[in-house]
Amino acid sequence: MALDPMDPSKLYIATHDGLYLLENEANLYRIGASRDDLMGFTMHPSESGVFFASGHSARGGNVGFQKSVDGGQTWRSVSQGLEGPVDFHAVALSSVNTDLVYGFFGGRLQRSTDGGRNWEYAKSTITPFSLSSDPTREHVLYAATQNGVTISEDDGDTWKSVSPQLDGGAVSVFAVHPTDIQFALAFSERLGGLGKSIDGGVTWQRILENFGGDVVLYLSFSKAEPNLAYALTSSNAIFKSMDKGDTWSKIR
């Protein structure tokens, strides 16, 4: 799930049967003819309509790493990845250097420094639910995992825990605010739900919203309106916050 970097009225949702667009919180429709399962999906941090994805083809088999430059209407193959065609279940693109891309497949983290054309393995192994890049630091990558949130400051080669407060429990999703890297949201088993941090993820405060008893699987901040955020839950419910995640309202 990702918000258009220039137009916060456009929320893109990658699904098991193609890419959908929720426009103005009212109209939800599928984009293009592709029915591929987009297991890994991310958007260019500053260019509208430029997406990267990986997953399964509707015709069978993996699609490798692919790119769209027309808002998801069409896709072209960028590469097969290592030991591919890959099916990246987690993908991240650096917000600082968009040639720097990460993907997780086959139990290993892959990294590309040329926009996804060529790949190498990171030195360490993690098993992320999701990956996210730091908004301002090129080589910093975060992973939400079965055991808290981990951070790498060297392009995924080494990792350490972000917070002992989150360790020992699953974190389904972690998101850093686009203009304040000290502010983050995470849906954590240890917190019993959604929490926020104002010190770079070290300490956390529980947010009093239970999302109808669902698990939050995806979070997305708006770059155009940084206090705006959306959450997508395990039952496909969509929630909106206008205050950086302190309060939420269900919109769909």
**CATH number of domain containing 133:** 2.130.10.10
Strand order in the sheet with 160-161: 128-133, 141-145, 148-152, 160-161
On whether both 117 and 137 belong to a single domain, the answer is no
140-161 per-position pLDDT tens digit: 999 999 999 999 999 999 999 9
Contact 174, 132 (CB under 8 A): yes
133, 95 in Cβ contact below 8 A?
yes
Q: What is residue 192's predicted lDDT score, i.e. its pLDDT?
A: 98
Residues 102 and 69 in one domain: yes
Pairing status of strand 10-15 against strand 2-3: antiparallel
Which helix or strand (DSSP H or E) is residue 77 part of?
Answer: strand 76-79
Give the model's pLDDT for residue 125: 84
Return the pLDDT at 28: 96
Segments forming the whole domain that contains residue 85: 1-121
- Do 252 and 138 share a domain, yes or no? yes
Number of structural domains the chain divides into: 2
- Residue 16 pLDDT: 93
Same domain, 248 and 130: yes
Identify whether residues 90 and 200 lie together within a single domain.
no
Phi (first) and psi of residue 106, to 5 degrees: 65, 30
Q: Please, what is the Cα angle at 177 between 173 and 181, to 5 degrees?
A: 110
Residue-level pLDDT at 242: 98
Q: Give the residue from 67, 99, 121 where a domain finishes.
A: 121
Give the global pTM: 0.95
Q: Are 134 and 252 found together in one domain?
A: yes
- Taking only the tens of pLDDT, the chain with its 252 residues reads 999 999 999 999 999 999 999 999 999 999 999 999 999 999 999 999 999 999 999 999 999 999 999 999 999 999 999 999 999 999 999 999 999 999 999 999 999 999 999 999 999 889 999 999 999 999 999 999 999 999 999 999 999 999 999 999 999 999 999 999 999 999 999 999 999 999 999 999 999 999 999 999 999 999 999 999 999 999 999 999 999 999 999 999
Q: Please tell me whether residues 95 and 200 are part of one structural domain.
A: no
User: Within this chain, do residues 132 and 252 fall inside the same structural domain, yes or no?
Assistant: yes
pLDDT digits (tens, 9 = 90+) for 114-124: 999 999 999 98
